[in-house]
Amino acid sequence: MALGQYQQTSLTNPGSLFEGGCRMGVAGTAGVFAGGSLGTVLGIGNLTGFTENLEKTTTQAGNSDQPDMRVAVQTVTVTFDMLEFWPPNWDEIRGGSLDVSNAASASTYIGGAGTVNVFSTGGLNTLTGKAFAFENTTVVSDVTAVTILIVYLARIEAGLAFTPKTDHDTDPVMVTPITLTAEIDTSRTAGDQLFIIESELGV
């Protein structure tokens, strides 16, 4: 039997397949991106997960129908890998209020070095929420279609984690995984407080 012999469904919305990865950026302030800008672009990497989490109410009555189910907590978990070992971007991602970051500074510990990028942490405890954007460009019939996902208010969920590799590894580039949790930005209008997706796919 030939594979798909009885398959009769075709693509319902032509040009609507999301292909490839995303360019990633962070804004200096929660919820703020200038039109067409991704703020500080975080360099090459991979968006590995974008999950909306809904925690629903569970109130029940013993002598009546269950009350209308509602959403009690609505968040988004975003995971991505950074491939560039670039300390200034770590500070941007982590809110700029948890760490001390200095670009092109004098070295303290690397002997003979001219200038270095310095990132230090410990002792500060504020996690400032920022907006993050993820932009995909897909080529459909030789025409580019852009899709952008923006979370308005997100903070890191876990600290930095490095897994250095041997020089002889077939894939020796060290990856830095990042996990964010986006929460409701109550300063925005209800119905547009968590994230937004704009896409030219299928248009």
- Write the CATH number for 144: 2.30.110
Count CB atoms within 10 A of the CB of residue 103.
13
Task: Please check whether residue 5 lies inside any domain of the structure.
Answer: no
Task: List the domain range (segments joined by +) for residue 159.
Answer: 23-56+69-98+126-199
Helices and strands in the chain: count of H runs, count of E runs: 1, 10
What pLDDT does residue 35 have? Answer: 76
DSSP bridge pairs for 132: 26, 151
Per-residue confidence band for 4, with pLDDT thresholds at 50, 70 and 90: low
What pLDDT does residue 189 have? Answer: 95
Dist. CA 203–CA 152, nearest whole Å: 25
Per-residue confidence band for 101, with pLDDT thresholds at 50, 70 and 90: very high
Evaluate whether 158 touches 179 at the Cβ level (below 8 Å). yes
Calculated CA dihedral for residues 148, 159, 176, 120, nearest 10 degrees? 110
Q: State the pTM of this model.
A: 0.89
Count of domains for the chain:
1
